[in-house]
Structure 1
Amino acid sequence: MVSPRLDDPVDIGGVTLGNRLYRAPVLECAGTGPDAPERLAAELEPAARAGVGLICQGATIVRETGGCAAPGMTRVADPDFVASLETVTDAIHDHGAAIAIQLEHGGLRSMETWHAEYRREHPNLRQLAVSRPPRLLRLLDRLGFLDYDAHVLTTEEVYDLAADFGRSAAMAVDAGYDIVHLAGANMGIIHQFLSPFYNRREDEFGDGVRFLEVVADEVRTRAGDVPLMTKVPAETAAPPGIRRHLTADAAVDICRRLDDAGYDALVPVSGSVFWDASIVRGSFPARSWHDDRFREGYAEAFGGPIRARLVELGNRIEAAWYDFDPAWNAALCRRVRDVVSVPVLCEGGVRERGEMDRLLGDACDAAGMARPFYAEPELPARLLGTDTSEETRAVCESCNNCAVPQVTGATGVCRTPSVLARAGTLRKEGVYVSDPENAGENNGDPVG
């Protein structure tokens, strides 16, 4: 059997994508103000214009208050606001691409835990917790690095939270989103349900997959037969000494069960039990840490300049520990693909066209990138097409200078001069130019 190529179509839950390249979810920092739809459209539309098959809008919060893991996240709880996001979906559909909305709640990872200024401004805002915070996190609370006033969800409240995911999904589908994508990893509350590090419940939700089953029921009941996908974490990068964590075997079993539960696509990812550099592997972002424009914002976020320096030191250590590894989720994706019947999507350190073609049909059914789109919003124009070289590579250096300033509310953009210079040279060469006469015909309209 001939393995598929990046240019080949793929079906996810009845939606046919024109190719197997997708823009993975990343923080867009658009907020929920009146200009948010236009900001999101401006951020996402270039990838659609350049021919990408699927765009995954980054994590959006399903409740009106609390739950944001970073400044500038968009909320999808108000019907009028969500209806205005039709501006975004129309912009993507005009170029024949499909768009997924990623639904999220941060739980213990929310800003009310770690962002000092936000905590001062919202003193009565409690974190939602699957169980009592783990002992190690309570120690960090006592030392003043985190601030826990956690509310452990009752069984009834867990069902209410699942219903919020369903309501947000229904509003999003009405606004034109093609696929619902759950933020099941990166230490959000879904991850916390799945993880034995966080989940010590004694009710039915002590089995974290049960929460994803209930969310699927809520989405299907409220939003109809919309394609549903989720990230699934393996905590294989957990530091030594953390005994209770998700092994690769556990993640594969979770994926098998979600396939049985009716999920239409799965995104297996490796990480830790913490929100650390294991999810954005690469170099230490020295340029961003030492940028005077963000120093005050770092101090506000982390509780003063000294604590900001300590966080910087931790980031430096993590960057050395979690060095960049090309396609670091491929082995886990390959194992999952062997046991499920739905498409498996692979992201994390994927950078080259030839690498993507080698992954397809082996480790995955579609390949995605996130950070590289900060430097090259129209990157698909270089990666797609029969004349594209195997050596065609994103200019992204995985330096993470784009990511760290986002803790201050800064927009996610490439800030590395050498990367921007290469992208500028390519732009002058015309590699990102789209043919306006063929707009909307590169992929064909996503078929539902």
Structure 2
Amino acid sequence: MTRLEDPLHIGDVRIPNRLYRAPLLECAGNGPDAVDTLIGDLEPAARAGAGLVCQGATIVRAEGGCAAPNMTSVADPAFVAGLERLTDAIHDHGGKIAIQLEHGGLRSMETWHAAYRREHPDLQQLAVSRPPLPLRLLDRAGFLAYDPHVMSTEEVYELAADFGRSAGYAVDAGYDLVHIAGANMGIVHQFLSPFYNSRNDEFGDGVRFLEVVHDEIRTRAGDVPLMAKVPTETEAPPFVGPRLTHGETVGICRRLADVGYDAVVPVNGSVVWDMSIVRGAFPARAWRDERFRDAYVDAFGGRTRALLVALGNWVESRWYDFDPAWNAGLCRDVRDAVDVPVLAEGGIRERGQIDELLGRDCDMVGMARPFYAEPELPARLLDDEKQVSSDTSVVCENCNNCTVPQATGAPGVCRTPAVLKRAGELRRQHAYERDGRGNET
């Protein structure tokens, strides 16, 4: 029986256990406090025992490509060198750290963030192909703003080289693994998706881009373990297509393992950024919060449009209700098809659920939003002395009040009083201390 406390190898790197902090938006930016912000966000997970900590999506170019405000760019080697303080902090607790590399493409702020568009009128979106018709219609209606630059074959190779360069800088700064953000409608997802990709060159096969990224990273960063998040689009509305099927995603994962990727993270999703990614309740508290009201107006281009976005958010919350471990079936089928570790995330909330998933559906288990409420969550879930109950559960209520304010550049933190109260009670009970197990709050 595989246990959460068992070690795991991804490539040549030994991960001390099978619990990881999945990538989240840290909103740290690149300012003078960026490294301290990242240490404050990520170190608690390692201190509490997480075997692997994944830094959230970082952008491989200096300009453009950010899907949300205050994302961190890792295109400047001088800045990335300063992140050695972060990797040292993780290593001091015996953990490993991965950096997730990203470019937003058509999902970038230059598409949807009204104030950002006004401030950067000449900034175009990088595009795999001409935007698909449904998105062009939203452009005509004024909800999005497309001025896409469809990349030539040579420019696609250069973008892949940017992934390689950033990976090289990261490895020099002490990162243990490189994680390619292949889902959630970023540029890699757009290469993989038939909804977006209508190219007639070699990159019409979207996996080809990930092959070139692999080769660039191997050239510039050596044998650093490389993993990728891989999407399906089965959650898209039935009238939207063409789209990635369950079987096609299993096939993509098989090809990536054959190419030399050391692990995969299969996820169910849609063709656009919607609540299939963060399933749960409608975040009413976040939309009503007066601290963000003006920033929502700036982001979405007016009060009426902000209200329409909130309405769409409400509709999506009814369609994409919370579903425990919603990627488990996809992960299981991928695990049967590949000989590299399969990582599962999405709706995993209890220790007993983790025990059922490991060895059957996946090789490692990750959580994301629960860390906003409990930065030291691993201390409650890891069972070094076999005393953790199978019904031990996170305090997160899947209310999504942490996510909506990030459209304004606000940091990812829990803002739900009942959840924070419960986390405070656990802290007073010393639940986040790991006495005798190497780490202590």
Q: TM-score range by the shorter chain?
A: over 0.9
Q: Which amino acid in 2 is paired with 1:392?
A: T
Question: Helix, strand or coil: the match of 2:276?
Answer: helix
How far 1:438 sits from its partner (Å)? 2.4
Q: Which amino acid in 1 is paired with 2:243?
A: H
Question: Match for residue 221 of structure 2?
Answer: 223
Q: Deviations over 1:12-68 (max 9, x none)?
A: 001111110000000001001121011100110000000000000000000000000
Question: Match for residue 241 of structure 1?
Answer: 239
> 2:251 matched to 1:258?
no
How far 1:280 sits from its partner (Å)? 0.2
Q: Which amino acid in 2 is paired with 1:291?
A: D
Question: Match for residue 445 of structure 1?
Answer: none
Question: Match for residue 32 of structure 2?
Answer: 34
> 2:404 matched to 1:428?
no
Q: Which amino acid in 1 is paired with 2:275?
A: A
Indicate how the Cα distance of structure 1 residues 242 and 437 shifts in structure 2: closer, same or farther if over 3 A, else same. Answer: closer
Q: Which amino acid in 2 is paired with 1:132?
A: R
Question: Match for residue 175 of structure 2?
Answer: 177
Question: Match for residue 288 of structure 1?
Answer: 286
CA contact (8 A) 1:94 1:439 kept: no
Q: Which amino acid in 1 is paired with 2:318?
A: A
Output the CA distance in 1 between the equivalents of 2:429 and 2:372.
19
Q: Which amino acid in 2 is paired with 1:309?
A: L
CA contact (8 A) 1:382 1:431 kept: yes
Ranges of 4+ aligned residues in structure 1 off by more than 2 Å: 434-440
Q: Which amino acid in 2 is paired with 1:432?
A: Y
Q: Deviations over 1:253-279 (max 9, x none)?
A: 000000100000000000000100000
Output the CA distance in 2 between the equivalents of 1:320 and 1:297.
25
Counting only pairs closer than 5 Å after superposition, residues 323-402 of structure 1 correspond to structure 2 as: 323-385=321-383, 386-402=386-402
CA contact (8 A) 2:101 2:181 kept: yes
Output the CA distance in 1 between the equivalents of 2:111 and 2:405.
18
Output the CA distance in 2 between the equivalents of 1:437 and 1:401.
33
Question: Match for residue 90 of structure 2?
Answer: 92
Question: Helix, strand or coil: the match of 2:106?
Answer: helix
Question: Match for residue 117 of structure 1?
Answer: 115
CA contact (8 A) 1:129 1:152 kept: yes
Q: Deviations over 1:120-164 (max 9, x none)?
A: 000000000000000110000001000000000000000000000
Indicate how the Cα distance of structure 1 residues 91 and 436 shifts in structure 2: closer, same or farther if over 3 A, else same. Answer: farther
How far 1:240 sits from its partner (Å)? 1.8
Q: Which amino acid in 2 is paired with 1:254?
A: I
Output the CA distance in 1 between the equivalents of 2:268 and 2:309.
23
Indicate how the Cα distance of structure 1 residues 24 and 291 shifts in structure 2: closer, same or farther if over 3 A, else same. Answer: same
Output the CA distance in 2 between the equivalents of 1:433 and 1:325.
30
Counting only pairs closer than 5 Å after superposition, residues 101-116 of structure 1 correspond to structure 2 as: 101-116=99-114
Indicate how the Cα distance of structure 1 residues 437 and 327 shifts in structure 2: closer, same or farther if over 3 A, else same. Answer: closer
How far 1:436 sits from its partner (Å)? 8.5
Question: Helix, strand or coil: the match of 1:348?
Answer: coil
Corresponding residue to 2:130 among 119, 129, 132: 132
> 2:418 matched to 1:414?
no
CA contact (8 A) 1:345 1:366 kept: yes
Q: TM-score under structure 2 normalisation?
A: 0.99
CA contact (8 A) 1:37 1:87 kept: yes
Q: Which amino acid in 2 is paired with 1:405?
A: P
Output the CA distance in 1 between the equivalents of 2:435 and 2:116.
45
Counting only pairs closer than 5 Å after superposition, residues 19-98 of structure 1 correspond to structure 2 as: 19-98=17-96
Question: Match for residue 195 of structure 1?
Answer: 193
Q: Which amino acid in 1 is paired with 2:301?
A: G
Q: Which amino acid in 2 is paired with 1:42?
A: G
Question: Helix, strand or coil: the match of 1:7?
Answer: coil
Question: Match for residue 8 of structure 1?
Answer: 6
> 2:305 matched to 1:298?
no
Question: Helix, strand or coil: the match of 1:242?
Answer: coil
Q: Which amino acid in 2 is paired with 1:290?
A: R
Output the CA distance in 2 between the equivalents of 1:243 and 1:171.
38
How far 1:362 sits from its partner (Å)? 0.5
Output the CA distance in 2 between the equivalents of 1:168 and 1:131.
24
How far 1:433 sits from its partner (Å)? 1.8
Q: Deviations over 1:159-188 (max 9, x none)?
A: 000000000000000000000000000000
Q: Which amino acid in 2 is paired with 1:117?
A: A
Question: Helix, strand or coil: the match of 2:337?
Answer: coil
Question: Match for residue 446 of structure 1?
Answer: none
Output the CA distance in 1 between the equivalents of 2:118 and 2:89.
38
Q: Which amino acid in 1 is paired with 2:199?
A: R
Question: Helix, strand or coil: the match of 2:346?
Answer: coil
CA contact (8 A) 1:344 1:366 kept: yes
Q: Which amino acid in 1 is paired with 2:183?
A: A
Output the CA distance in 2 between the equivalents of 1:8 and 1:140.
48
Q: Which amino acid in 1 is paired with 2:52?
A: L
What is the percentage of aligned positions where both structures have the same residue? 72
CA contact (8 A) 1:165 1:215 kept: yes
Question: Match for residue 266 of structure 2?
Answer: 268
How far 1:434 sits from its partner (Å)? 3.7
Name the structure, 1 or 2, with higher relative contact order (CA <8 Å, separation 6+).
Answer: 1
How far 1:435 sits from its partner (Å)? 3.9
Q: Deviations over 1:43-99 (max 9, x none)?
A: 100000000000000000000000000001000000110000001101100000000
CA contact (8 A) 2:433 2:439 kept: no
How far 1:243 sits from its partner (Å)? 2.5
Q: Which amino acid in 2 is paired with 1:307?
A: R
Q: Which amino acid in 2 is paired with 1:323?
A: D
CA contact (8 A) 1:84 1:175 kept: yes
Question: Helix, strand or coil: the match of 1:438?
Answer: coil
Q: Deviations over 1:255-307 (max 9, x none)?
A: 00001000000000000001000000000000000011100000000000110
CA RMSD in angstroms comes to 1.1
Question: Match for residue 322 of structure 1?
Answer: 320
How far 1:437 sits from its partner (Å)? 8.4
Q: Which amino acid in 2 is paired with 1:146?
A: L
